[in-house]
Amino acid sequence: MIRIVDGWKSYGDLQVLKGVSFEVGEQEVKVIFGPSGSGKSTLLRCINMLDPLDKGEVYLHEQNLIAPGVNPNMMRARIGMVFQHFNLFAHLKAIDNVSIGLRRVKKLPKEEARAKALEMLGRVKMAKWADHYPAQLSGGQQQRVGIARALSMKPDVILFDEPTSALDPELIGEVLQVMLDIAKSGTTMIVVTHEMGFAKAVASEMLFLDNGIIVERGTPQHFFVSPKSERVKHFLKQLDILYGSHKELLKRSNEEESK
């Protein structure tokens, strides 16, 4: 359904994406992970054409988004995006953050847009907070509004850029729960995340991006049981130290002690 073919992108001398290709099918959830600076955010921005690819193509329902004559604004309305730092419109209440796309892009009348926005806020369990400004909401609440904002446009696919990595640990759960719900209701998603529990629950495939290249791809099962490349093994081990059951930490501190 959405397909990126041989995507290349550089900023000045820095080659960030080096020929990335993959495809996401209808109602599929793909998880992208990899070290910081490997180009994950850049990849999502390029899919959404917020940054143009230097070389390569993006297809949405077999339509080449980069072809001349294609209106990028109209295409972007069909691709939702959820940001690491939420990027809620600071001057708008939660409800208006969600309805602004309906009003200004889909040109719905005010009341209709408001009703739909309220429904979307309900889906992320934020209806009660409709009249709060972003600054009055916790990070987890802001991110749920961000998800409702993306959902409101009924996009063909939603891109998530580390949606929980800016959150305090106790707020991650509520956002992941919402993401699980919408994944299970059949939303096509490309999710950059290091939440392996989420990946395990809904990802049909995971892509490991390092240095602008997809180094390894496979099911969650594949990565957790038998990853091939050393880089992936090393990275997953570090993740386990950061997020995991602390088995690694315990082992290490035991090793230190026994020295």
Partner 1 sequence: MFQVLPQPIEDILRVLEYWDHILAGFLTTMELYGGALVMGFFLGLLLALLRQYGGIILSRIATGYIEIIRGTPLLAQLFFIYFLPYSMNSILEAQGLSPIPIGKWNIQTDIIILDRIITYTIFDHRMLVGLLTLGLNSAAYQAEYIRGAIKSVGTGQLLAAQSLGMSRLAAIRHVVLPQALRRVIPAWSNEAAYLPKYTVVVFFIGVVDLFGEAHFIVANTFRTLTTYVFIALIFLALITIVSKALDFIHKRTSIPGV
Query: Does residue 41 interact with ligand ADP by CB under 6 A?
Result: yes
If you ran DSSP here, which 8-state letter would residue 27 be given? T
Q: Which helix (H) or strand (E) holds 16?
A: strand 14-24
CA distance 56 to 178: 33
**Cβ neighbours of 98 (radius 10 Å):** 31
Binding mask 145-184 for partner 1 (x = CB under 8 A): ----xx--x-------------------------------
Among 6, 19, 37, 74, binds partner 1 (CB under 8 A): 74
CA distance 76 to 70: 11
Least distance CB 46 / partner 1 (angstroms): 13
Among 7, 80, 212, 220, binds partner 1 (CB under 8 A): 80
Least distance CB 133 / ligand ADP (angstroms): 28
90 interface partner picked from ligand ADP, Mg ion, partner 1, none, CB below 5 to 8 A per type: partner 1
Q: How many CA atoms lie within 13 A of 29 on its CB side?
A: 21
Asked whether 58 and 67 are in contact (CB, 8 A), the reply is no
Residues within the interface to partner 1 (CB under 8 A): 45, 48, 50, 73-81, 83, 85, 87-91, 100-101, 104-105, 133-136, 149-150, 153
